[in-house]
């Protein structure tokens, strides 16, 4: 069984920050795709193909982690379905910030009060600073916060925040029991697209296959980025407390706001950068 270390070293921090940038990037690929539903399905299918190859080299994870993989896969199926809805009707910044920004608070509360993990006062301040930055980004994103509860894409983002918190906690525990973080990631990624892919193939297989033939390279690009990002995060959870890694990972909202503002021309850049300072402060507090 893999156990997390008591301190979060610089190498782990840099790795999780890289994963945060990667995560925002593959979400931006979905946001920019003309057919977001088809691209989301294609990307996760390509990721499953890569994972199948990876399992040939890593082997399967320990059976002790199987219940966690099964439960996480169920949550990921719902997460993928909601993700397509979020970017169909919302901006990258608003949708991404809502679903990613609320998750660390839920993870921290559950990990402390249910899993009995301890966080230092500095770590709690770091979580608070990151969340303050997240709320500021949302407030100046160019759309009212009330949109989150009125619009179907906003409601999907809020639901996904709960799913993210749930599967983060499951995977944080499961990967520690797996004996091999890569094998755990590959198994989970292999299962991720099964339901949505099956439904799409039943609904309109010709359209999906035609889309895959035209955009397979972009699909594998997104798949490589998304699989690598989550693999880094789960590895980090074997080195540091789950809540700390989960909160640090959500610094990806800064990258999402920058991408949304500079690439998609969403919202206001200056308030977003000011909010990024709050998130950066939170990162430093977590590292300390």
Asked whether residue 166 carries a pLDDT value surpassing 80, the answer given is: yes
pLDDT-derived band at 91 (thresholds 50, 70, 90) equals low
Residue 1 lies in a domain: no
Query: Residue 226: its pLDDT value, please?
Result: 94
What is the tens place of the pLDDT at every residue in 108-139? 777 778 778 777 888 888 888 877 877 776 66
In a domain, 2, yes or no: no
Distance CA 107, CA 124 (A): 12
Range of the domain at 97: 10-287
pLDDT of residue 5: 54
Residue 47 lies in a domain: yes
Domain-embedded: residue 193 = yes
Beta-strand runs (E) in 3-73: none
Q: Is residue 130 part of a domain?
A: yes
Residue 74 has pLDDT above 80, yes or no: yes
Average predicted confidence (pLDDT) for the chain: 83
pLDDT greater than 90 at residue 50: yes
pLDDT average, residue stretch 174-190: 94
**Residue 159 falls inside a structural domain:** yes
Q: Please give the tally of structural domains in the chain.
A: 1
Residue 5 lies in a domain: no
For residue 160, the model assigns a pLDDT of 87
Judge whether 144 lies within some domain: yes
pLDDT in tens, 198-208: 887 888 888 88
Least confident among 43-47, 112-116, 148-152, 256-260: 148-152
Q: What is the average per-residue pLDDT within 96-100?
A: 73
């Amino acid at each position: 069984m893999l156990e997390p270390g008591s301190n979060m070293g610089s190498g782990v921090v840099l790795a999780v920050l890289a994963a945060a940038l990667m995560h925002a990037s593959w979400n931006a690929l979905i946001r920019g795709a003309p057919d977001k539903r088809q691209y989301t399905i294609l990307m996760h299918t390509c990721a499953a193909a890569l994972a199948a190859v990876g399992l040939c080299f890593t082997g399967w994870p320990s059976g002790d982690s199987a219940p966690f993989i099964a439960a996480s896969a169920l949550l990921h199926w719902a997460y993928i379905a909601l993700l397509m809805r979020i970017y169909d009707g919302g901006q990258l910044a608003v949708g991404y910030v809502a679903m990613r920004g609320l998750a660390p608070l839920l993870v921290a509360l559950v990990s402390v009060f249910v899993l009995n993990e301890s966080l230092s006062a500095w770590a709690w301040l770091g979580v608070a600073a990151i969340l303050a930055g997240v709320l500021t980004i949302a407030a100046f994103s160019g759309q009212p916060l009330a949109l989150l509860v009125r619009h179907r894409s906003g409601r999907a983002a809020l639901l996904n925040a709960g799913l993210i918190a749930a599967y983060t906690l499951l995977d944080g525990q499961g990967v520690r029991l797996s004996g091999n973080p890569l094998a755990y990631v590959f198994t989970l990624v292999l299962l991720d697209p099964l339901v949505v892919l099956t439904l799409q193939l039943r609904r309109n297989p010709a359209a999906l296959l035609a889309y895959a033939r035209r955009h397979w390279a972009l699909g594998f690009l997104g798949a490589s980025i998304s699989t690598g990002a989550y693999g880094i995060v789960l590895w980090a959870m074997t080195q540091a407390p789950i809540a700390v890694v989960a909160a640090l990972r959500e610094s990806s909202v800064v990258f999402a706001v920058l991408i949304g503002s500079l690439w998609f021309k969403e919202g206001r850049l200056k308030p977003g950068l000011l909010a990024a300072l709050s998130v950066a402060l939170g990162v430093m507090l977590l590292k300390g």
